[in-house]
């Protein structure tokens, strides 16, 4: 939650205010939601990150990050010796903070809204050209009206570029372990239930394949638990 509407991108105003109940049972109103780009400290390295569906609450005194909202997205939050850490599903730290007074303060810096909006708009206008090339166009005065800073540029990544330009990791180059003799490695799998039953009333089958000989045997089953 935040009281700074100017820090938001993709802001959506609610048709009617939503009531938010605080820890002391005090009720305040949220008037919309949006996303916020910021740089967060993860293992000593500041990386860009995006908070989505952040509530706009004008009456809020400080920005608040809900632990339950973080964990609902598959992350883990740990608190130990005056420090909090946010870990993703792979156990990698993606954010951290320190205890200040009675609250944990996330080590992060909110990115200015105009920089994030400029990044989105200009990458769309020039067919999602990367930021380095956009900055080169401006520095060499090849395009008029560019709003990137001369030396810095925007650090906000474009969502469409992230989705469209990401690569899959290549398959491992290590040679797979193969059998050198009969029955050393057996591959097995169960398939079913089939839409139509066999003449014997079976809806499942299990296959066994010898890795060395590549000989396959198939057994039919009425139930997944095994042959009757």
**Whole-number Å distance between alpha carbons of 89 and 135:** 35
Q: What are phi and psi of 214, to 5 degrees?
A: 65, 20
Banded model confidence at residue 184, pLDDT cuts 50, 70, 90? very high
User: Do residues 150 and 138 lie in contact, with contact meaning Cβ atoms separated by under 8 Å?
Assistant: yes
**Whole-number Å distance between alpha carbons of 130 and 8:** 23
pLDDT digits (tens, 9 = 90+) for 75-106: 898 888 888 888 888 888 888 888 888 888 88
Question: What structural domains and CATH numbers belong to the chain?
Answer: 5-110 (2.40.70), 113-158 (no CATH), 186-221 (no CATH)
List, in order, residues 6 or more apart from 27 with CB less than 8 Å away: 19, 20, 21
Q: What is the mean pLDDT of residues 205-225?
A: 92
What's the pLDDT score for residue 48? 76
């Amino acid at each position: 939650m935040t009281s700074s509407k100017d820090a938001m991108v993709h802001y959506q105003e609610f048709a009617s205010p939503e009531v938010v109940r605080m820890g002391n049972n005090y009720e305040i109103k949220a008037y919309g939601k949006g996303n916020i780009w910021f740089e967060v400290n993860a293992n000593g390295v500041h990386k860009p990150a995006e908070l989505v569906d952040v509530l706009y609450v004008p009456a809020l005194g400080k920005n608040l990050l809900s632990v339950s909202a973080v964990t609902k997205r598959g992350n883990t939050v740990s608190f130990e010796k005056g420090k909090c850490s946010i870990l993703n599903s792979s156990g990698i730290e993606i954010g951290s903070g320190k205890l200040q007074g009675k609250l944990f303060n996330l080590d992060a810096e909110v990115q200015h809204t105009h920089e994030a909006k400029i990044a989105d708009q200009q990458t769309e206008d020039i067919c999602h050209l990367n930021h380095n090339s956009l900055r080169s166009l401006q520095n060499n005065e090849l395009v008029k009206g560019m709003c990137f800073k001369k030396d810095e540029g925007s650090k906000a990544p474009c969502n469409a570029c992230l989705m469209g330009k990401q690569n899959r990791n290549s398959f491992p180059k290590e040679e797979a372990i193969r059998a050198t003799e009969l029955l050393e490695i057996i591959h097995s799998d169960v398939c079913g239930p089939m839409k139509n039953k066999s003449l014997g009333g079976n809806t499942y089958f299990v296959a066994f394949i010898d890795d060395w000989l590549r000989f396959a045997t198939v057994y039919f089953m009425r139930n997944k638990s095994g042959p009757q």
